[in-house]
Amino acid sequence: MKAFYAEEQKRHDPKAFLSSGAAQPNPEKPERVERLLAGAKSAGCTIERPRNHGLGPVAAVHTPEYLDFLEHIYARWQRIEGASAEVIPNIHPIARSGSYPASAVGQAGYHMADTACPISGETWQSALWSAWSAVEAAEAVMAGAPAAYALCRPPGHHAFADVAGGFCFINNSAVAAQVLRKQAARVAILDVDLHHGNGTQGIFYARPDVLTVSLHADPVRFYPFFWGHADERGEGPGLGYNFNLPLPRKSADAAFLGALEVAFQRIRAFSPDALVVALGLDAFEGDPFGGLSVTTPGFSRIGEAIAKLGLPTVIVQEGGYLCDELGDNLTAFLTGFGGKAR
Ligand SMILES: [Zn+2]
């Protein structure tokens, strides 16, 4: 299987992160890349650099206002006297009106859901190259590859059309799905990250051409709290095209694989022409977030089960944080999926 990754993706190096109000080192570290690259290579992947695809595929799922913010906010922030080194919001609209603030502080609150996505001078380029890896993987599948892997870092599934959040800036899975739509009439996105893919859900919530399905730790007591519940089913023409499967905390392999079968029923009934897997590896029992208890062999079985759908598949990296098994878990998933054979 081909894998796509560009060195620029490593430059984003967020420092801060507020967890239950306390300042902690940000877990979305560049070192994740080394572990994931090693994991992909062990599964037999060849690593290729994506091309520069310009803003088009990114602008297809994000608003121009938001992309302009991401590109320029760091330089604007530096002109504020006494401002932090990284862009971090300190005020948010409870509900949005039509108005849009002119100030950098106001816009940071408007476009950033939480404090987990600090923006530095390198963030924009890293996020763009991460998205271009997803574009390249989608194009490889459109050219006939049965599957391709995009080593997307920074990750993307918490990014809405105009909001960053949860370590995410550009929604790489959504970008890949939208690229696939050039050929595929219907695309399904299956998100197996520990956390609900709220940004992806938001981007496609009113659309019937992209089915969004997410398995995750129940948000009633877990990030992202305000999204990911079973009664969120889509709206307007998209009603019935969003499917959430919240799992009890510490659910292990059997429960996860059981929920996956339920997800597959919905995906088969949608009869998609292509699939995007939003592959978080943070459902692992040893992940620092500790929400679910999937094992390393469990990831292999998850990969194997998804491959049996028999769909052209773009695998997009989402979460999965530093622990000894991070690379092994990717190898397990890709090998289970058929990494060596394909
Ligand atoms: Zn996650």
What pLDDT digit, counting tens, does each position of 157-201 carry?
999 999 999 999 999 999 999 999 999 999 999 999 999 999 999
What pLDDT score does 339 carry?
Answer: 58
pLDDT of residue 341: 45
Q: Looking at beta carbons, which pairs linking 96-101 to residues 24 or more positions away fall under 8 Å?
A: 100/65
Cα 98 to ligand 1 centre (Å): 31
> Measuring CA to CA, which residue among 293, 199, 300 is closest to residue 250?
293
pLDDT at 17: 87
- Those residues of the chain that have pLDDT short of 70 are 339-342
| Token pair of 107 as six digits | 């816009």
**Beta carbons within 8 Å of 220's beta carbon, 6+ residues apart:** 229, 246
Q: Identify the pLDDT of residue 46.
A: 96
Ligand 1 centre to CA of 304 (Å) is 21
Distance between Cα 216 and ligand 1 center (Å): 9
Find the 224 Cα to ligand 1 centroid distance in Å.
10
Q: Can you give the pLDDT at residue 274?
A: 98
For ligand 1, the distance from its centroid to the CA atom of residue 283, given in whole angstroms, is 8
Active-site residue list:
158
Phi, psi of 117 (to 5 degrees): -125, 55
pTM: 0.98
Close Cβ partners of 165 (under 8 Å, ≥ 6 residues apart): 112, 113, 114, 116, 117, 158, 159, 198, 199, 224
Kindly list the protein residues that place their beta carbon closer than 5 angstroms to ligand 1, a single-atom ion: 193-195, 280, 282, 319
Using the mean position of ligand 1's atoms as its centre, give its distance from the Cα of residue 65 in Å.
26
pLDDT attached to residue 342 = 45
Other CB atoms closer than 10 Å to residue 10's CB: what's the count?
A: 19
